[in-house]
A and B are shown apart, each in its own frame.
Chain A
Amino acid sequence: AQSVTQLDSQVPVFEEAPVELRCNYSSSVSVYLFWYVQYPNQGLQLLLKYLSGSTLVESINGFEAEFNKSQTSFHLRKPSVHISDTAEYFCAVSSSGAGSYQLTFGKGTKLSVIP
């Protein structure tokens, strides 16, 4: 079985300040890792994903996440946030093993950017 823990349910941060949203996972097998963003009254949008290779992955809008296998973490960071980054962020994991297709999500972190 796999699980995801998002350590902060809400994170307020001032505009142009850096932010880190924490995610830890538990799995007995190799995993794929994802971050999704959900704006109010909308579905989820993929922000970035780690499948293999370089442990640092980046999105087109300035977010990055680093896969740390020893700490079973996949924290999301941005050096300078904008008002438009206000949303809920979900970390998700899937098993890389055969026959496993589901995404397991954390409970989400609400990021509020303060002007």
Chain B
Amino acid sequence: DAGVTQSPTHLIKTRGQQVTLRCSPKSGHDTVSWYQQALGQGPQFIFQYYEEEERQRGNFPDRFSGHQFPNYSSELNVNALLLGDSALYLCASSLRTSGGAGDTQYFGPGTRLTVL
């Protein structure tokens, strides 16, 4: 059973560019969340997608946008990259149950984004 997969593994961009990160959820999961983990910090919630809609958003600017496809996979897009966007971007998938926020989130290995 494949877990959460993310691509690419590493990415180097320059300031002002745009980037797209991809995530395939664990088999049977229908919800995808994205987190940003800066060096030496804990992950910070960007947003969550369920039924192809953004269900909740953290404190991130509109430069961060996402999408969920009918097969539950997801993309994270970041426009007008800043140096401060350099981080590990983690995707987590879960199966929506009545527990809502208590649903266990399974994390992928992350995409390491470096902005020069």
Contacts and interface: CB of A to CB of B under 8 A. Distances in A.
Contacts, number: 72
A100 B56 contact: yes
Interface of A: 4, 6, 32, 36, 41-46, 49, 51, 90, 92, 94-108
Contacts of A51: 99, 102
Nearest to B91: A43
A100 B110 CA distance: 23
Given A43-B90, A43-B107, A44-B107, A98 B100 contact: yes
Interface of B: 4, 31, 33, 35, 40-45, 48, 55-56, 58, 90, 92, 99-110
21 contacts: A43-B109, A44-B43, A44-B90, A46-B106, A49-B102, A90-B42, A90-B43, A92-B42, A95-B101, A96-B101, A96-B102, A101-B48, A102-B48, A102-B58, A103-B45, A104-B45, A105-B42, A105-B43, A106-B42, A108-B40, A108-B42
A105 B58 CA distance: 13
